[in-house]
Each structure stands twice: as C-alpha cells, then as structure tokens.
C-alpha cells in the first residue's frame, strides 16, 4: 500500500508539473490519439475529453482531460475533476497498466462519501467577462444554453457569486431533471453543487467550504452520507440502495473512487445467457451513455463467478465492436472538420453530404452541427440510435457474434 500511495503522490506531482508548463498543453493534446478536441472559434477555447478505449491512462495529460477547457496557448480556463475510476474497475483483467491500478483501489485516508447524482456535469467558470456553463464535451452548445437559462432563474446574488468565484475557480454542478433522465428519475429541474476547484492549482474545496458555499448560493449540495466511513460500509449499502446511481468516495489527497449500485447497472443483461437484440441494444446504450466502464467494473469483479468466462467473452466482443464504432465516428468527425476548414460554407457542405449516397447522413449532419457549435456530444446517444450504420455495427453484428459464442 505504501508503494501505491507513493506512486499516486508522484503522479499528482507529475500532473501538477506538466500543468505548470501549460503553454505546451494544447499542442500535446493535438498530437494525442487519446482525446477529442472541441474547438470554440468565437471564444478561441478548446474543450478536451478523453476517448473510451485504448487510452493511455499513465499519461497525466489524459487523466485531466475530463472536460478540461484550455486556450490554444495552453492556458487552463476551466478545470473539472480528473478522471476517476470505479472500485476494482476491470477486476483482475489487467486492462489498466500496473502503475495506475491503484486508481481503482480503496485508500485509507477517507474524507467523506457523497451521492453519485445521475445527471449531466455542468462546468461553470468565467472567461473574459463572460459566464460559461459547459458540458464535459463542449465549450458551448444547446446544453450550455439550457444550463444558463436555468441559472437565470436563480437570485441575482447567486448568479453574481458564481460569476465572481468563476474567475479563479471552476464550479462543478450536476444538472438533473425530468427532461434529462439517464436512469434515475428526478421530479424537478435543478443544479446540485458537488465540487469547486482552483483553476490554477487544482485544489478542491473542502466539505466544510462546499457546505458554506451551498448555503450562500441557495443551491442544493450533493447528498453526503455521514454514516458511511469504510469500504465495508459502502459495499453493504450498495446492496440495498434504491433509486440512486451510487456513491463517490472522496479522499483527503483529492483522490476519488466510484461505486455504482446493481440496480442502476441492470447487470442481468450481461449475466444471463440470453442472446437477444434487446441485450445487444442495451450494451450499445451502456457505451453511448458513457457508463460502460461502470458495467465492466462489475462484470469482471468476481473471477470465481460461474458466469465469469461467459461475461468475459461478451466483454471481448463488445470491445471489438466499440473499436469499430470509434474508428467510424472519428473518421467522420475528421472528415467534416476538414470540410469546414477547406469549404467553410455550411450550406455547401450540406449539399455535398446529401449528394453522396454512401454517407450515413445521420452521423454526418450530427457532426456538422456539433462542429459548428449548435449541438454537443450529449446529443450523440439520441443521434446514434437513429443511425443505420451504428445499428449495423452494434446491434446486428454484435447480436450475430453473441449467438456464435
């Protein structure tokens, strides 16, 4: 354990060291195969988000790319949480390099346990006198407009405090509501405060500071579970937790760890032997909704399970399908980005897409909207469910392979 903590401490130091040289950060991301860049040309800002598969988690640049907002000179404008994993993510499968396996382990210096809200991350910050509320995949989008519209319903004093604090800190909220249901149903639309980070240093507000800020803002603070103080407490409570996504363990050194409830993950899809289109579609949805890693953490958790071998086979098939998906999506996004650079006129590009019968117009037009800042990747799930190409890759082909095994 001492070696693990030493490794973690060294990684944190390395991360901070790289960030202090942030004038080169943008260039490093441009050259990285592990991240997606979303450029906002109006404000000359770039949102950086890591990809799902084949990612080098030993690279500190990748670990901090969870909606990080930077300038092209590498200055960090907004700093959300670093990537944090599920407890024992991927089990004993060695899908994470040995030097970062500790990122899935329980640490001894627990600070507190908080609820894992089931909504959309809101990254609030102030840049050049303007209030931003970004998603984890885009600087500005229709979701940003939705967040700002909701913010306008809060008292002026609340709006001013968020604006002023956002000049030096990144405020992190969860947007929940009946129109933003992922799995858990929330009856009303609201922001839930769950974190604040110093944009320069990365230091997080303490629980006491968050409680004071929540009271000052008049914005609900994420639920804190004071009666849970150990790993056993967390695991035992997960078995009975109803209508909750799970827990996040926050440790005193800033390290975080996720725990998802079995109810949330609906693991029967992977633990049964039924080979149906519904199963293939559910696996697809897990990936698109960005909860696949949560599912895999449970699937591969118990190597002694009678279903382990079968689950591992399904997981391997799913990984191959996702690789095909990632190649498809990346190639289309790059192609549309090139069109915008060379042609620039959106209407002319739309005509070219319509004229080519070989193109999957659903995905092409999504990325045309995405790259011109009228949509963001939070809309991707809805778009992809309408794409024949994606259905072929995920549902038809995956179903056929499931039946073969």
Confidence tier at 363 by pLDDT (50, 70, 90) = confident
**If 0-12 CB within 10 Å is exposed, 13-18 middle and 19+ buried, where does residue 358 land?**
exposed
pLDDT at position 117 is: 79
pLDDT in tens, 323-351: 666 677 778 888 888 888 888 788 888 88
Confidence tier at 317 by pLDDT (50, 70, 90) = low
Residues 245/260, Cβ–Cβ less than 8 Å: yes
Q: How far apart are CA 259 and CA 238, in angstroms?
A: 8
pLDDT at position 403 is: 46
Confidence tier at 77 by pLDDT (50, 70, 90) = very high
SS3 of the chain: helix, strand, coil, percent, to 5: 45, 20, 35
Portions of the chain given CATH number 3.30.470.30: 115-261
Q: How far is CA 371 from CA 55, 141, 247, 350, 376, in A?
A: 23, 10, 34, 13, 8
Residues 82/63, Cβ–Cβ less than 8 Å: yes
**If 0-12 CB within 10 Å is exposed, 13-18 middle and 19+ buried, where does residue 9 land?**
exposed
pLDDT at position 383 is: 62
pLDDT at position 102 is: 84
pLDDT at position 274 is: 45
Q: Looking up tokens 């906002």, which residue turns up? A: 40
115-261 domain in CATH 1.10.10.10? Answer: no
Radius of gyration of the chain (CA): 21
Q: Is the dihedral of CA 216, 156, 123, 178 positive or negative?
A: positive
Q: What is the mean pLDDT of residues 109-136?
A: 90
Ranked by mean pLDDT, the top range of 24-28, 309-313, 378-382 is 24-28
Would you state the structure tokens that stand for residue 162, as one six-digit string?
């968020």
pLDDT in tens, 179-227: 665 555 667 788 999 999 999 999 999 999 999 999 999 999 999 998 8
pLDDT at position 315 is: 60
Would you state the structure tokens that stand for residue 405, as one six-digit string?
């095994």
pLDDT at position 220 is: 94
pLDDT at position 321 is: 62
Pairing between β-strand 110-115 and β-strand 246-251 as defined by DSSP bridges: antiparallel
Confidence tier at 228 by pLDDT (50, 70, 90) = confident
Three-state SS at 49: strand
pLDDT at position 176 is: 84
Beta bridge partners of 192: 174
Q: Looking up tokens 């499931």, which residue turns up? A: 402
pLDDT at position 271 is: 46
First to last CA, the chain: 39
Q: Among 98-112, 114-128, 300-314, which stretch is predicted with the lowest mean pLDDT?
A: 300-314
Confidence tier at 137 by pLDDT (50, 70, 90) = confident
Q: Which of 279, 339, 263, 343 is nearest to 315 (CA)?
A: 279
pLDDT in tens, 243-283: 667 889 999 888 999 887 655 555 444 444 444 555 555 55
Chain centroid to Cα 210, Å, comes to 22
Q: What is the mean pLDDT of residues 11-38?
A: 70
Tell me the backbone φ, ψ of residue 188, rounded to 5 degrees: -135, 155
Q: Which of 276, 293, 291, 287 is nearest to 329 (CA)?
A: 287
Tell me the backbone φ, ψ of residue 341, rounded to 5 degrees: -70, -40
CA angle 267, 270, 276 (to 5 degrees): 120
| Angle at which helices 397-404 and 308-342 cross, to 10° | 160
pLDDT at position 361 is: 79
């Amino acid at each position: 354990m001492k070696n693990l903590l030493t490794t973690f401490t060294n990684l944190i130091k390395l991360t901070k060291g790289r960030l202090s040289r942030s004038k080169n950060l943008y260039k490093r991301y441009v050259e990285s195969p592990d991240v997606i860049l979303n450029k906002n040309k109006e404000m000359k800002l770039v949102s950086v988000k890591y990809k799902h598969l084949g990612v080098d988690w030993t690279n500190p640049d990748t670990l901090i790319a969870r909606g990080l907002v930077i300038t092209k000179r590498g200055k960090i404008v907004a700093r959300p949480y670093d990537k944090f994993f599920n407890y024992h993510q991927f089990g004993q499968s060695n899908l994470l390099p040995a030097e970062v396996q500790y990122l899935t382990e329980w640490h001894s210096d627990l600070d507190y346990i908080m609820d894992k809200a089931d909504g959309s991350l809101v990254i609030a910050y102030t840049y050049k006198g303007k209030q931003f509320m970004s998603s984890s995949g885009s600087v500005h989008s229709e979701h940003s407009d939705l967040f700002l519209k909701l913010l306008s319903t809060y008292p002026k004093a609340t709006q001013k405090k968020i604006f002023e604090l956002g000049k030096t800190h990144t405020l992190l909220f969860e947007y929940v509501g009946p129109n933003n249901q992922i799995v858990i149903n929330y009856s009303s639309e609201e922001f839930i405060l769950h974190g604040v980070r110093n944009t320069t240093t990365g230091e997080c507000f303490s629980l006491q500071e968050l409680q004071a800020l929540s009271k000052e803002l008049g914005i609900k603070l994420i639920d804190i579970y004071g009666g849970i103080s150990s790993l056993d407490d967390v695991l035992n409570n997960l078995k009975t937790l109803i209508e909750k996504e799970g827990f996040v363990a926050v440790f005193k050194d800033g390290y975080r760890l996720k725990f998802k409830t079995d109810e949330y993950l609906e693991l029967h899809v992977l633990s049964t032997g039924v080979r149906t289109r519904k199963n293939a579609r559910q696996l697809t949805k897990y990936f698109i909704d960005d909860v696949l890693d949560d599912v895999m953490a449970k699937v591969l958790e118990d190597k002694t399970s009678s279903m382990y071998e079968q689950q591992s086979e399904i997981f391997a098939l799913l990984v191959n399908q996702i690789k095909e998906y990632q190649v498809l999506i990346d190639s289309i996004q790059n192609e549309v980005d090139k069109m915008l650079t060379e042609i620039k006129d959106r209407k002319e590009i739309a005509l070219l897409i319509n004229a080519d019968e070989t193109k999957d117009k659903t995905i092409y037009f999504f990325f045309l909207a995405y790259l011109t800042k009228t949509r963001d990747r939070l809309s991707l799930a809805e778009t992809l469910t309408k794409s024949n190409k994606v259905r072929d890759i995920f549902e038809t082909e995956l179903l056929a392979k499931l039946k073969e095994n």
